[in-house]
Amino acid sequence: MRTTKNTIMEKIILILIFLALLSCRKTFAHLTDFNWIDYWGLMEDKETYETIFSEDGDILGTKEVVLQNPSIFVGIDEGGGGLITFKNGKYEWIYQAD
């Protein structure tokens, strides 16, 4: 993750959105529970890679995804995680594995 010169207010807004997602207890993407998260942070990269799965759950590879806005990365210590990003007018989950 690289840092840019975003304002403190932009970072605070992203953190508040993340906290709202945690507290609303509604499904976000395929997630209904965020208790598994060990760490989270702000990702300001312009592109990332999404892990692609087959219908059987096997990893097929990755594809590059262009990020339109700073995103929130969430993950676990011994594995993968994902990004919560605002893209094309809605919040999306981008799965990432180690």
60 three-class SS: strand
Tell me the longest C-alpha to C-alpha distance in the chain. Answer: 43
Kindly list the domain boundaries of the chain, sorted by start residue. Answer: 8-96
Predicted TM-score (pTM) of this structure = 0.65
* Structure tokens that stand for 95 in this block: 């799965």
SS3 label, residue 87: strand
Helix (H, G, I), strand (E, B) or coil at 62: strand
Cβ atoms of 97 and 79 within 8 Å: the answer is yes
pLDDT in tens, 65-82: 999 888 888 888 877 888
Q: How would you classify the pairing of strands 90-96 and 81-87?
A: antiparallel
pLDDT by residue (tens digit) across 27-69?
555 666 667 778 878 888 999 999 898 999 898 999 999 998 8
